[in-house]
Amino acid sequence: MKDETNRQIGKVLEANEFIKSVDTKAILIKINALNALFLAIRSEEHLRGYIVVTDEFNRFTDELSRFVDKLRDLIFKNVVIISTQLKLHNRNVLYTKAFQLSATGDSGNIIHDIVQKNEKMLAEHDREIEIFFSDLVHLLKGNERLVLRGDMLAMQAKIEGAYSIKSRDVFRDVAESFQKHIIDIRDSLQHLSKILGKK
């Protein structure tokens, strides 16, 4: 039981690190999008398409941030469940020892009832944790389209930046930076799905 709880805690901690990584990348994309927007506006060329793409990247990062917030909320709820489960387990170990020492009379019956009640609560928490991991994996899979959209935006930024005569290299660098962050996010989310999918 304790080994399983420790394994669950390990999964949650690792998941939290990946969530932080995705959140950081979302912030970097937002900064890149703002820089690209200023470049496009300051450019003397008519880069309306590029301005539209950078605006889309801002919307993308807002959606990505909401997704990360959902992940964070789920993780927090699960940490509460796992810590409660660990306390219950430790308490049950003590009650079981107390029951073994005083297995007779009313006190033995009371302790036995407490152990039984705690066992039921532990089983309920096990189900809640199983549902949590399932919900988290479902949320990750449901947001694969978000990463695909990011890929498409990075490609669109490259295409729109190619229309620039004076700042083509700068826009290409910005688009490649977008693409690198999107790839990092996709890799993080895929790794997170693998971690959470392991039994």
Average pLDDT over the chain reads 78
In a domain, 164, yes or no: yes
- Percent over 90 (pLDDT), the chain: 0
Q: Is residue 178 part of a domain?
A: yes
Query: Which run of H or of E encompasses 143?
Result: none
Domain assignment present for residue 124? The answer is no
Q: pLDDT tens-digit profile of 13-39?
A: 777 787 888 888 888 888 887 887 787
Cβ neighbors of 12 (< 8 A, separation 6 or more) are 75, 78, 79, 82
pLDDT, position 105: 65
Domain count, the chain: 1
pLDDT at 138 over 80: no
Look at residue 107 in the predicted model and tell me its pLDDT: 67
pLDDT digits (tens, 9 = 90+) for 62-92: 888 888 888 888 888 877 887 887 787 777 7
**Is pLDDT above 80 for 163?**
no
Is 116 part of any domain?
Answer: no
Name residues whose C-beta falls within 8 Å of residue 174's C-beta, 6 or more positions apart in sequence. Answer: 32, 35, 36, 39, 157, 161
Q: Domain with 13 in it: what CATH number?
A: 1.20.1260
Task: Name the residue range of residue 78's domain.
Answer: 2-93+131-197
Residue 154 in any domain: the answer is yes
In a domain, 67, yes or no: yes
pTM recorded for the entire structure = 0.69
Tokens of 102: 């005083």
pLDDT in tens, 86-137: 787 777 777 777 767 666 666 677 777 777 887 888 788 778 877 877 777 7
